Amino acid sequence: MIEDNFQGWLVIDHEILKAAFAKLPPYYRKYKTIRKELHMGPQQISDYLEGRRYPNLLNFKKLCLYAQISADVLLGLISTKDSSE
């Protein structure tokens, strides 16, 4: 059975994204490093982490790979506890 964790029109869970970034080594959490690696502006990254705007598909993929988080988790399709199994 498919479980839908629909929470309004929330596209990505920015709290989970912030938590994933917080688990990265300190050097990789710096905006300067993130900008260089992902080719995004500092305001753009900040907006994604604070939930003020949502990434396009290319940037979504970059964020998932960089933060080492499953797209399913970030989209709320599965919970974080399910992804660790």
Whole-model pTM: value is 0.78
pLDDT tens-digit profile of 63-84? Answer: 999 999 999 999 888 876 655 5
- Segment 5-21 shows an average pLDDT of 78
Q: What local confidence, expressed as pLDDT, does residue 75 receive?
A: 86
DSSP string computed for 24-40: S-HHHHSHHHHHHHHT-
Measured CA distances, 5 to 30, 37, 57, 62 (Å): 31, 32, 21, 24
Do you know the residue count of the chain?
Answer: 85
Tokens of 76: 């709320």
Question: Looking at the domain covering 14-77, what would its CATH class be?
Answer: mainly alpha
Mean pLDDT is lowest, of 3-12, 16-25, 26-35, 72-81, for 3-12
Whether residue 12 has pLDDT greater than 90: no
